[in-house]
Structure 1
Amino acid sequence: MDTSELPDLKLLQLFDLLYDVRSVTRVAEQLGQSQPTISIWLARLREHLQDPLFVRTPGGMAPTPQADALIGPCREILESLRRFAAWEIAFDPATAKRRFRICMTDASHITLLPRMLAHVRTQAPGIRLEAARIDGNTERALESGEADLAIGHIPWLGGGIYQQQLYMQDWVCLANRGHPRLRARLGMKQYRTEGHVAITAGTGEQLLEQALVREHIERDVVLELPGFLGLGAIIKSTDLIATLPRHIGETLAKVNDLVVHACPVPVEGFAVRQHWHARYHQEAGNRWLRGVVVQLFRSSGGAGG
């Protein structure tokens, strides 16, 4: 085949994204293009492959059998190009120019990211860090090289993923230092009667919910938050309490002058680990990044790492 007959890279990126998101509008947003431009590209790809590839349905753009058959080879090509562009025989952090993408929770944005960023800016000034969410796409992102590491409690990651324990987490409760009804300790009776802020996200939240069900505790939830942003200010300005992992709890307490209480509910602890794909186990840059994380955060636990 003449190289002029090969599809453009942008068409392969379009195919890869559209197969996942099933929306021309969302693909246009992610590629930074107008919707008419994406429609033109899709028409070119359809003509090149002589197949509709995606058919409009009430649930979005559904792939045809031909698209199902071609998505694997398409992604292999894209991954080969990524590895080709990023290839380095050796990795010198002092001179390297590279972006590392790390999947983490919003709690880690507060507890881990500032210290990691400070270290990298000192030791590797040409390195750019990008924080991404932990979600259903994390395993594929690690495998494809879209993400370099995932840090957190992620027990659902499957085969081909290496992991290394950093520290253990137990659970604590946060309260206003001037709370009118809390003094030395927070007991189970008071835990049941006080108003709570519930965090609905976080990879360890399921452990808390299981413990509450097991102990037959129904909290008086006054406020639900999708993450930890603003939690410290809310606890500081109200008589509400929050139950959360120790690392983020102690960090928020220090910043907002809050009181950390032992959690009266017996909640199962969990390990925070860093995860990477076997394909990048020996890759020099990935090994350096993992070493930085271990150096900064591996311990028996605690906000200091």
Structure 2
Amino acid sequence: MKEIQLHRIDLNLLVVFEALMSEGSVAGAAETLAKTPSAISHALARLREQVGDPLMVRVGGRMQPSPFALVLIEDVRPILRSIKRVLAVPEAFDPATSDRVFRVACPISGKVLSDVMRRIRAEAPGVKLEWLSAPRQVYDAVAEGLVDIAHLGGETRLPDGLDAVEVAPFRWTSFLRDGHPALADWGPEAWSRYPHVQVNIANDARSPLDNPADGTPPDRTIGALISEFSSLGPLLAESDLIGTFPRIMMAWDMQTYGLRPVVPQITPAMFRTRFFWSSRLASDPASKWIREIVLTAYAARHAEADHLVEQALG
């Protein structure tokens, strides 16, 4: 196949190619693009010459794509969508009439998610929300605009193309079931005697508790490794496991399942907690709207969680 000379490619040829692949006939593509069948045939001939492949051949009464055409269309369609998006005149964002889908990547759901949904239902009843835990390649997903805003804890340097805001750091507390035998003599020995539960949300077996603030190696045994926070409450309530987590993740499970908070025997090293988003969308009205909703809900619930746990600690 001969080398393609990009400076000679007419973008309209790709538009015609996409229409032919979608319609399966010259007549159908001509109707879709409001052109004559001869114009479509001429464009197809030019593109064949450029790429050195027949692309589509007539079989019976329908045009059938070549193997190369099937591969090519998978690249052409995203390119055409990107061009449309780049050249489109920006529309004002009206939450009341929008039917946009927003994607938020945040392992903390519960009350934060409920508050976000309440705001969305009140202000934008047509909007759909996808709440993700921690998708793989989250940085790439956010940078490409596939995720509108994501939550991250840690000192990882953000890649270029992302903006971020730092929020209040996590406050860690240990949670045990009411009547747990460790409560009778809570201290370093009880901490190490009973198994702990750890949540693995990013396919990484490490925890912030593996990096204590004082540098002391953590003396604990992992008895359960689970993939989401939603199962923590019932698991702790029905076992002798110890769970040490940020308060915002456990304060309401503490109430629902009758868990007892205690001061952890390990304090993780302090690290930053951030929400981040694509720099390209920093000034986008719709993106600013969902960011404000998420950040407001998170800040309010973070403060409430601290208050609830402090009350329970006495």
Q: Do the two structures share a fold, i.e. TM-score over 0.5?
A: yes
Distance 1:246 1:164 in 2: 20
Q: Say if 1:256 and 1:42 are closer, same or farther in 2 by CA, change over 3 A.
A: farther
Aligned to 1:279: 280
Name the residue aligned to 2:134.
134
Question: What SS does the corresponding residue of 1:178 show, helix, strand or coil?
Answer: coil
- Give distance in 2, aligned partners of 1:98 and 1:297: 22
Deviations 1:247-299 (A, max 9, x none): 11223212212111121212123343221111111111011111212322236
Task: Let me know the Cα RMSD of the aligned residues.
Answer: 3.4
Change (3 A) 1:140 1:281: same
Distance 1:79-1:149 versus aligned 2 partners, 3 A rule: farther
In structure 2, distance between residues paired with 1:173 and 1:295:
26
Does the Cα contact within 8 Å between 1:104 and 1:134 map onto a contact in 2? yes
Taking only the aligned residue pairs, the percentage that are identical comes to 21
1:261 corresponds to 2:262: yes
1:1-305 matches, cutoff 5 A: 1=10, 3=12, 5-6=14-15, 7-8=17-18, 43-46=68-71, 48=72, 77-82=80-85, 88-105=90-107, 108-153=108-153, 155-183=156-184, 186-201=186-201, 206-211=207-212, 214-298=215-299, 301-304=302-305
Alpha-carbon offset, residue 205 of structure 1: 5.2
Q: Matched residues in 2 for 1:84 and 1:253: separation?
A: 51
Kindly tell me: are residues 2 and 235 of structure 1, through their superposed partners in 2, closer, same or farther at Cα, counting changes over 3 Å? closer
Secondary structure in 1 aligned to 2:244? strand
Taking the aligned partners of 2:153 and 2:112, their CA distance within structure 1 comes to: 14
CA 235–215 in structure 1, closer or farther in 2 if over 3 Å, else same: same
Letter in 1 for 2:161: G
Name the CA distance, whole Å, in 1 between partners of 2:85 and 2:162: 19
Q: Provide Cα deviations, 1:24-56, integer angstroms capped at 9, x if missing partner.
A: xxxxxxxxxxxxxxxx8965234x59xxx9xxx
Give the Cα–Cα distance (whole angstroms) in 2 for the partners of residues 167 and 204 of structure 1. Answer: 25
Contact 1:252 1:258 in 2 (8 A): yes
Aligned to 2:309: none
Q: By how many angstroms is 1:175 displaced? A: 0.1
Q: Is the 8 A contact 2:210 2:218 kept in 1?
A: no
Find the aligned partners of 1:5 and 1:79 in 2 and give their Cα distance. 13
Whichever residue aligns with residue 210 of structure 1, its letter is N
Relative to structure 1, is the Cα distance of residues 102 and 95 closer, same or farther in structure 2, using a 3 angstrom cutoff?
Answer: same
CA spacing shift, 1:204–1:295, aligned 2, 3 Å: farther
Q: 1:161 to 1:274 in 2, by over 3 A?
A: same
Q: Distance in 2 between matches of 1:232 and 1:250?
A: 10
Q: What is the alpha-carbon distance in structure 1 between the residues aligned to residue 206 and residue 247 of structure 2? A: 13
Contact 2:213/2:269, CA 8 A, preserved across alignment: no
- Counterpart of 1:59 in structure 2 is none
- With over 3 angstroms needed to count, the CA separation of the structure-2 counterparts of 1:243 and 1:302, relative to structure 1, is same
| Gap regions ≥5 residues in structure 1 | 12-39, 54-70
| Deviation of the 1:186 alpha carbon | 3.3
- Note if contact 1:173-1:249 (Cα within 8 Å) is conserved in structure 2: no
Aligned 8 A contact 1:103 1:151 in 2: yes
SS of the residue corresponding to residue 8 of structure 1 reads helix
Q: Distance in 2 between matches of 1:127 and 1:83?
A: 23
SS of the residue corresponding to residue 146 of structure 1 reads coil
Deviation of 1:241 after TM superposition, in Å, equals: 0.8
Structure 1 pair 204–153 and aligned structure 2 pair: CA distance change class (3 A): farther
Residue 17 of structure 1 is matched in structure 2 by none
